[in-house]
Amino acid sequence: MTDAPAAPPAVRARGLTKRFGQRAAVDDLDLDVAEGTVYGLLGPNGAGKTTFMRMLFGLVGADAGTLEVFGRTWAHDGVATLAPVAGFIESPRFYPYLTGRANLRLLATLDRVDRRGDDADARIGGVLDTVDLLDRADEKVSGYSYGMRQRLGVAAALLREPRLLVLDEPANGLDPAGIRDMRALVTRLARSGLTVLLSSHDMDEVEQICDHVTIMSKGRVAFTGSLHRLRALAPAPTHLITTSDDLAALRVLSKAASRLDDVSVTTTHGALALRGPQAAIDRCVITLADAGVAVRTLVPGTSPLEAVFFSLTEPEDVVPTHSHQPEPGAAMSTRTSTAPKAAGAPAAAATSRSPR
Amino acid sequence: MSAPLTSGAAQAPATGVLARAPRAVPTRGGFPAALRAEATKLTAQLRAKLLLAACLVVPPVVVAGLAGQRPPSDTIYGRWVHESGYADSLLLLGFAAQWVLPLVASLVAGDTFAGEEAHGTWKTLLTRSVSRSHVFWAKCVLSAVVSLLALLLMAVSATVAGMLLVGTQPLVGLSGQTVGSTAALELVAASWALAAAPLLAMTAIALLLSARVRNPAVGVVGPVVIGLLMTLLGAVGGTHLLRRALPTTAFESWHGLFAAPAFTGPVWQGLLTCAVWTVVCLLLARVHLVRRDITGG
Amino acid sequence: MTMITKTASRSTAAGGPGTGWVKRADKATRRRRWQGLRPSAGAAVTGVIVLAGAAVLSVSGGQDVTQVKVQDSLQTSFANLWALQQTETGHPMRPTQVHPAATCDKGGPDVPDVGPGGDWICQMTWTGQTEPGKFELNVHANSCYTASGPGSKVGSFTVTDTDGREVTNPVYAFDVCMDADASA
Ligand SMILES: Nc1ncnc2c1ncn2[C@@H]1O[C@H](COP(=O)(O)OP(=O)(O)O)[C@@H](O)[C@H]1O
Ligand SMILES: [Mg+2]
């Protein structure tokens, strides 16, 4: 280390590379997770998030590059690298023939909780209570639901009293209530000073929980920085409208283009996509009503951050900035130029989101 | 799963586990910890208990069954099972060496690594504070202990059953000489003890297979098949040194003890061969486990 | 640091400490190179080496089973067992009084008299038996054999002992183990 700071970052990766056969799952990755942050690792499936976390846990060896955890490396410190780290990769797995409590006791044995002068059983009770599994703790894990296993995974991680909590898509496979509770728990843990490294394919989740984010795509870093900076890159929000006569609406809006110069209009499957600030959208709706075209639905489309995410991780798109936005008059193509996937499924994807 | 994760504790964020300052996990004592964890898993499963129970119960049943039958003449000491209880014990030893002892060796060992694969628990086990090497040796030691315990139970059970159900008459040796009752008991005990070496070698083979193939069924059945093939190969004439290089050959090294004069060449050869097999298999398995990527689960 | 170029962007702050996993990675790369493109190549090479070793082992080393060993062991064992049988049936006798003399042959005149097989025939005389009795030997690869005596000379499967009990006839059929490592 050249100018070694007093406290090394929780995680520091330099040129980290892992290949499976010819394909690089993680490709020349640089990453710094400062202590005390809630760090989001965002990327579509196959981006390499899990592989990176496996390398962090020493489950997978790197082909090149270095990875330090609180200044320790696997090559130099071995399993001691893991001492301040806990978490789980993908869905946590346990021994199905043991009860939840017995599984935790087994892991406490491996962690040598007793030798740290702690009462293992009391600590196990404590973490089980934290994840609200106390009343089911003495049932075999084979009878646990997916969500219960996920919570047991969090309990198993907390048992280690980590400084860094690594969670690989913790909300995956949970129902909405489970997702809400998981996020609440992570937020609460983060408030207690824990550094959290969390992977997700869901921009929404990262936006709710994290303060720093690295967006990965095909094993590489596509963006890294604070959420604040990511927002600055975001395009204006999109709204999808359906009208009594879409063709007429398109005509009306293009005729009024001079007054609506900060809105772009594109047609998508059975709807019009309007992109622009909220006030401009309002003006569009009024204009349409004045022209005798009724607006039947108005739903928020792809969120701005999500649009950035897609544009960063999907190869066919160009990086969106405001200057790259198509001119309103030129936007009358039959396809949107941004985020076709998300806009293509507006009913499923967009309606559950709140506009921002 | 709609039970809130945070109920009860949500109002007080700094309770319980979260209030404490993080502490360093001890780096020493990894092996004993791994050993205790493996023992916990083993005792929670039926597999090892069934094996040990069978080793205790089956021999007396077989000895009792032999009592009412024309003696089997195709296995050494089969002809004498009505004349001396020691012959019953030796017949069982010779018979067990064919495939029972390989199965004893593989039942726990063949599952120990592959089972983690099947349950997807490698990542659970290896993200705690024990090194892969510690986990590896803990699993090896425990598998060996189970194998040896099973052998001990089987030996005691078979010998005691023979002595109680048939008797402690003198035994006819493998040079036709008469072996007195006390000497026979000592030699029978030594014979069973010698089976420990090939049993450990077969255990090591099962461990290697379990680590490499990552399938519990293959880990358990594989060594039995390998043991049978090796026995078969050793039974083919004209294989000279190859025969001596097989671990299964050592299952028969006790024959020399019952000859007059006794010869112990096969005993030492067997011990050496089995030691080499054991060490090589364990090292290969260890190298594989320490290097491999854990991507499943 | 904020990076937004999509593909080849990464910070120039590479390198870091020289430790990391670089050493291990180098080894892995070398291993792959050695194994070539196909992952099965290493296993194939190992298999060939093992097979070649097995082939060499299987043809080297001396013969475990020889005519002399078979004859000697048969005489010794028979003397012991015949004395046992005679004593059991009320004609006490010591092994040294049996004086067995065996001539063994494997598979007739055209087959070398070495090695295991079910075709070993031994002609043996002993005290009181001047006409040779024919013993058929099934010699196993482990240098043990099962000898079946001529029923007319050694009696049937069981004999009656002095107490009138039917007991196993020790010489009707018996197992003998030879020292494979002994010379001769
Ligand atoms: N064991 C493996 N063998 C081969 N390829 C793998 C393996 N594990 C992951 N990959 C590949 O590596 C890439 C990254 O996977 P992963 O790290 O799981 O991504 P993510 O967690 O972001 O969805 C994917 O293309 C995946 O197919
Ligand atoms: Mg993943």
Pair (C92, C136) in one structural domain: yes
pLDDT at residue C126 above 60? yes
**DSSP-derived 3-state class of residue C120:** strand
Alpha carbon of residue C86 to chain centroid: 33
Write out pLDDT tens, residues A287-318. Answer: 888 888 888 888 887 777 777 777 777 765 44
Contact B131, B33 (CB under 8 A): no
* C84 shares its domain with C147: yes
Helix (H, G, I), strand (E, B) or coil at A243: strand
- Cα–Cα dist B71/C168, whole Å: 10
Q: Are both C154 and C77 inside the same structural domain?
A: yes
| DSSP letter string, A146-165 | HHHHHHHHHHHHHTT--SEE
- Closest residue in B to A61 (Cα–Cα): B293
By the 10 Å C-beta count (0-12 exposed, 13-18 middle, 19+ buried), B105 is classed as buried
The reported pLDDT for the residue numbered B279 is: 97
If one compares B39 and B14, the residue with the highest pLDDT of the two is B39
Q: How high is the mean pLDDT of chain B?
A: 88
- Identify the residue whose C-alpha is closest to ligand 1 atom 1: B295
**Distance from the alpha carbon of residue A143 to the mean position of ligand 2, in angstroms:** 25
Whole-number pLDDT of residue A273:
83
Supply the DSSP symbol for A45. Answer: T
CB-CB under 8 Å, A1 with C17: yes
H or E segment at C122? Answer: strand C117-126
Distance CA B29, CA A328 (A): 69
ipTM given for this complex: 0.86
Question: What's the burial of B120, exposed, middle or buried (CB within 10 Å: 0-12/13-18/19+)?
Answer: middle
Asked whether the beta carbons of B282 and B140 are under 8 A apart, the reply is yes
State whether C85 and C136 are in the same domain: yes
SS3 C131: strand
pLDDT of residue A322: 36
- Give the mutation candidate from B83, B166, B243, B244 for the C interface (greatest C CB count, under 10 A): B243
Does B186 fall in a domain? Answer: yes
Nearest to A60 by CA among B294, B129, B120: B294
Q: For residue B7, tell me if it sits in a domain.
A: no
A48: distance to nearest CA of chain C, Å?
A: 15
Residue nearest to atom 21 of ligand 1 (CA): A50
Residues in chain B, overall count:
297
Into how many domains does chain C fold?
A: 2
Residues with Cβ within 8 Å of residue A290, at least 6 apart in sequence: none
Put simply, whether A1 touches C (Cβ < 8 Å) is yes
Q: C183 lies in a domain? A: no
Q: Is A49 in the pocket of ligand 1 (CB under 6 A)?
A: yes
Task: State the pLDDT at residue C180.
Answer: 86
Do C58 and C148 lie in one domain? The reply is: no
Residues A29-79 pLDDT 10s: 999 999 999 999 999 999 999 999 999 999 999 999 999 999 999 888 888
Q: What residue type is B36 in one-letter code?
A: R
Residue of B nearest to A182 (CA): B5
Instruction: For residue B217, report the distance from its CA to the centre of ligand 2, in Å.
Output: 29
Alpha carbon distance A293, C107 (integer Å): 109
Is-contact B92 B100, C-beta < 8 A? no
Query: Do residues C89 and C172 share a domain?
Result: yes
Of residues C169 and A347, more confidently modeled: C169
C82 and C20 in a common domain: no
- What is the Cα A82 distance to its own chain's centre? 24
For residue B186, the model assigns a pLDDT of: 97
Q: Please name the residue of chain B whose CA is at the shortest distance from the CA of residue C148.
A: B73
Output the CA torsion B265→B270→B276→B278 (10° steps): -160
Mean pLDDT of C129-152: 92
Instruction: Identify the band that residue B297 occupies on the pLDDT scale cut at 50, 70 and 90.
Output: confident
- Which residues are paired to A308 by β-bridges? none
Distance between CA atoms of residues A225 and C93, nearest Å: 102
Strands C166-168 and C117-126: unpaired
Q: How far apart are CA B13 and CA B11, in angstroms?
A: 6
To the nearest whole Å, the CA of B293 is away from the closest chain C CA by 11
**Does the beta carbon of A56 lie inside 6 Å of ligand 1?**
no
| C80-103 CB burial, b ≥16 within 10 A, e <16 | bbbbbbbebbeeebebeebebebe
Poorest-pLDDT segment among B87-91, B189-193, C156-160: C156-160
pLDDT higher than threshold 90 for residue C137: yes
In-domain check, residue C52: yes
DSSP assignments along chain B, one per residue = --S-TTTTTTT-TT-GGGGSPP-PPP-S-HHHHHHHHHHHHHHHSHHHHHHHHHHHHHHHHHHHHHHTSPPP-SSTTGGGTTT-HHHHHHHHHHHHHHHHHHHHHHHHHHHHTHHHHHHT-HHHHHTSS--HHHHHHHHHHHHHHHHHHHHHHHHHHHHHHHHHHT----EE-TTS-EE-HHHHHHHHHHHHHHTHHHHHHHHHHHHHHHHHH--HHHHHHHHHHHHHHHHHHHHSTT-HHHHHHSGGGGGGGGGGGGSSS---HHHHHHHHHHHHHHHHHHHHHHHHHHHS-----
Task: Determine if residue A65 is left, alpha or beta; phi over 0 gives left, psi from -120 to 50 gives alpha, anything else beta.
Answer: left
- Give the residue, by CA position, lying nearest to ligand 1 atom 26: A46
Query: Which residue in the block uniquely carries the two structure tokens 């000859």?
Result: B259
- How far B195 CA lies from chain A's nearest CA (Å)? 33
Whether C19 has a pLDDT exceeding 50, the answer reads no
Lowest average pLDDT, out of C7-11, C96-100, C155-159, C169-173, goes to C7-11
Residue identified by tokens 């598979």 is C107
Amino acid identity at A74: W
Shared domain check, C47 and C82: no
**Cβ-count burial of C54 within 10 angstroms (0-12 exposed, 13-18 middle, 19+ buried)?**
middle
**Contact check, Cβ <8 Å, C73/B175:** yes
What gap in Å lies between CA A278 and CA B52, rounded to an integer?
75
As a whole number of Å, the end-to-end CA separation of chain C is: 85
Out of C45, C62, C79, a domain closes at C62
Burial of A112-140, coded b for 16+ CB within 10 Å and e otherwise, reads bbeeeebebeebbbbbbbbbbbbebbeeb
Checking if the pLDDT of B1 tops 70, the result is: no
Strand partners, A216: A221
Phi-psi region of B136 (alpha: psi -120 to 50; beta: other; left: phi over 0): alpha
Same domain, C37 and C111: no
Residue A334 has pLDDT above 50, yes or no: no
Q: Where are the alpha helices (DSSP H) in A98-245?
A: 100-111, 120-130, 146-158, 176-191, 203-209, 227-233
Q: B69, exposed or middle or buried, with CB in 10 Å at 0-12, 13-18, 19+?
A: exposed
A347 pLDDT more than 60: no
Is residue B224, in this structure, part of any structural domain at all?
A: yes
What phi and psi values does residue C141 have, to the nearest 5 degrees? -65, -20
Predicted pLDDT of residue B238: 66
Q: What is the CA radius of gyration of chain B?
A: 24
pLDDT in tens, C109-118: 889 999 899 9
Distance from the alpha carbon of residue B210 to the mean position of ligand 1, in angstroms: 24
Provide, as residue numbers in chain A, all residues whose Cβ is less than 8 Å from the Cβ of C23.
75
A-contacting residues in B 9-28 (Cβ below 8 Å): 9-10, 13-14, 16-20, 22-27
Q: Contacts of residue C19 in chain A, CB cutoff 8 Å?
A: 66, 73, 75-76
At what angle are helices B85-112 and B132-165 packed, to 10 degrees?
Answer: 160
Q: Which residue has the tokens 């089976």?
A: B195
Tally of structural domains, chain B: 1
Cβ–ligand 1 distance for A355 under 6 Å, the answer no
> CA quadruple B25, B28, B30, B35: dihedral positive or negative?
negative
Q: What is the token pair recorded at B83?
A: 């004349």
Does the structure show a pLDDT above 80 at B25? no
Shared-domain flag, residues C80 and C168: yes
Q: Report yes or no on B18 lying in a domain.
A: no
For residue B120, what are the domain limits? 30-291
pTM confidence score: 0.83
pLDDT of residue A228 exceeding 60, the answer is: yes
Torsion of CA A339, A343, A344, A350, to 10 degrees: 130
Query: Taking the CB of residue C60, how many other CB atoms lie within 10 A of it?
Result: 10
- Asked if residue B35 has pLDDT above 90, the reply is yes
Closest CA in chain C for residue A55: C21
User: What pLDDT, on a 0 to 100 scale, did the predictor assign at position C97?
Assistant: 94
**Count of CB pairs separated by less than 8 Å, A with B:** 176
pLDDT band at B2, cuts 50/70/90? very low
Asked if B33 and A112 count as a contact pair (C-beta separation under 8 A), the reply is yes
Q: Is C37 on the interface with A (CB under 8 A)?
A: no
Asked if A73 lies within 8 A of C6 by C-beta distance, the reply is no
pLDDT of residue A274: 84
Any bridge partners for residue C101, and if so which? Answer: C125
Chain C residues in contact with B238 by the CB 8 A cut-off are 58-59, 115-116, 141
C-alpha span between B247 and A267 (Å, rounded) = 76
- φ, ψ of residue A20 to 5 degrees: the values are -110, 105
**Using CB atoms within 10 A of its CB, is residue B86 exposed (0-12), middle (13-18) or buried (19+)?**
buried
**Separation CA A194–CA A313 (nearest Å):** 29
C24/C78 same-domain check: no
**Comparison of pLDDT for B250 and B242, the residue scoring more:** B250
Please state whether beta strands A64-69 and A11-20 pair in parallel, antiparallel, or not at all (unpaired): antiparallel
pLDDT value at residue A260 = 76
- Residue C27 included in any domain: yes
Local confidence band at A270 (pLDDT 50, 70, 90 cut-offs): confident
Nearest alpha-carbon partner for A234 in A274, A193, A275: A275
Alpha-carbon distances of B71 from A321, B291, C157, rounded to whole Å: 92, 53, 11
Residues 6+ apart with CB under 8 A from B197: B247, B250, B270, B271, B274, B275
> C71 and C44 in one domain?
no
For residue C41, the enclosing domain spans: 4-62
Per the DSSP assignment, residues forming a β-bridge with A99 are A140
Ligand 2: distance of its center to the CA of A217 in Å?
A: 12
Site of tokens 């519990």: B216
Q: How many CA atoms lie within 13 A of A167 on its CB side?
A: 36
